[in-house]
Amino acid sequence: MMRLRALGALLLLPLAMAAQTPDWNAARDETLQHLQRMIRINTSNPPGNELPVAQYLDSVLKAAGIETHLFEPTPGRAAFVARLRGTGAQRPVILMGHMDVVGVEKAHWSVDPFAAEIRDGYLYGRGAIDDKGMLAANLETMLLLKRNIIDKGGKLSRDVIFVANSDEEAGGEWGMGWLVANHRDLIDAEFALNEGGRTRVVGKLTYVAVQNTEKVPYGVLVTAHGPGGHAAIPLSGNAITRLGRALAAIGAHDEPVVIKPTTRVFFGDLGAVWPEKAVGKAMVDVASGDAKRVAAGAKVLATIPVFNAVIRNGISATLVSGGIRSNVIPTEATATLNVRNLPGESIHDVVARLKKAVNDPLVDIAVADSGVDTPASSFESPMFTAIADAVKELDPAMVTVPYLSTGATDSARLRALGMQAYGILPFPMAQDDEDRMHGNDERIPLKSLEFGTKLIYGAMVRVTR
Ligand SMILES: [Zn+2]
């Protein structure tokens, strides 16, 4: 009996291994086709019109025998959820993406943004990297998990929930916001994998930045007051010139350097391998925890806008308004500041510092609206480890780091519900390709699409073991 059982286990071994190795040539082609189909459905938001994409996802997943839920929260918009059932040994994991895209300036594109054309190893199209590329990789992952594990008699230790949202690019009222408010039960999970990270190629280095926390956006109004009257009689204390002085002071103000735990690991790990020596040293210094070295390193990193934005709160003046006619001195002039706080930092402290910098009792500074400030997701969780291990298997030279994103994402809504949410962009790209996100000639390298699909699949296989 013992012997037979051992023999049986031996015979089963090749099958179990086969169950985890998809036919990647076929999977690569299939992912590309799904992505092309989705790019060809124009979901520019506004108006969005994501329903046809959701119907497409629904038909593909249904045909594969996967449970689906398609909702139309308002005409033409859609919320879509699909589910692979696990044993329930662990709580579910969400794979999410958004179906809407930002609009295009067609005249500045060298290809039709909705034709999904392939040229020189790239697939072009609006949404190729934001976010239909990830949606296609997520879709393929669901199909592969079903075919290669479940259909072969294997088991997942937790449910895998596929979520495709509308309206992410316009605030998410008809997307994740709607889903959370109306179908919370369908998206109850321990972990979520969303957009929001980077897989950045810098010279010979490729690093995978997994977003586990994000900056918090605030709207702050700066209002200057002054005497009004006929423009023919100039008045000192004119509200517009007063606002100008206040804005100049705000522009010269730097928020203090604060190194969050995520940023410390981010710079510490990257600094050791960063191709540019001086920048690498500054990163290591910032991560050192030694006040003098942190200050010296921060000084260097502050000259690089993307790094400056993760070591302190950011303040950008974005709107100015004041006056009603060219010959009337207004009594009020207002500027809007877009403030991006590091998580956990008080907006009231920022306002207090700005008031001090402006130093003018006739200038009011007030918070107009606030984003969601949530605790960071752990960068030592099984989900984070699964991503890092999947990366290592695909390319041992790549470095996976936790990442505090400067932009706000839907993940904040999930973190607010107590989920551990992570943002990735699993497609290796140089800065130039990534900058096309929301810009012209958006494109994805075909090799990166394949890599990203393997990465998501590899991470999901690990986290559902
Ligand atoms: Zn996006």
How far does residue 42's CA lie from ligand 1's centre (Å)?
A: 15
CA 59, CA 312: separation in Å to the nearest integer? 46
- Does 3 score more than 70 pLDDT? no
DSSP assignments along 33-79, one per residue:
HHHHHHHTS--BTTT---HHHHHHHHHHHHHTT-EEEEE-SSTT--E
CB 426 within 8 A of CB 451: yes
How far does residue 266's CA lie from ligand 1's centre (Å)?
A: 22
How far does residue 98's CA lie from ligand 1's centre (Å)?
A: 7
Tokens of 94: 């969400």
What is the CA angle 439-440-446, rounded to 5? 100
How far does residue 134's CA lie from ligand 1's centre (Å)?
A: 9
pLDDT digits (tens, 9 = 90+) for 255-294: 999 999 999 999 999 999 999 999 999 999 999 999 999 9
Cβ neighbors of 227 (< 8 A, separation 6 or more) are 235, 237, 238, 329, 331
CB 420 within 8 A of CB 91: no
How far does residue 458's CA lie from ligand 1's centre (Å)?
A: 22
β-bridge pairing 328-329 and 229-230: antiparallel
Three-state secondary structure call for residue 265:
helix
How far does residue 169's CA lie from ligand 1's centre (Å)?
A: 7
Give the pLDDT band (50/70/90) at residue 20. Answer: low
CA 199, CA 399: separation in Å to the nearest integer? 10
How far does residue 84's CA lie from ligand 1's centre (Å)?
A: 24
How far does residue 104's CA lie from ligand 1's centre (Å)?
A: 15
Tokens of 442: 């958006």
pLDDT digits (tens, 9 = 90+) for 375-405: 999 999 999 999 999 999 999 999 999 999 9
Query: H/E element holding 12?
Result: helix 2-18
Look up the pTM and report it.
0.90
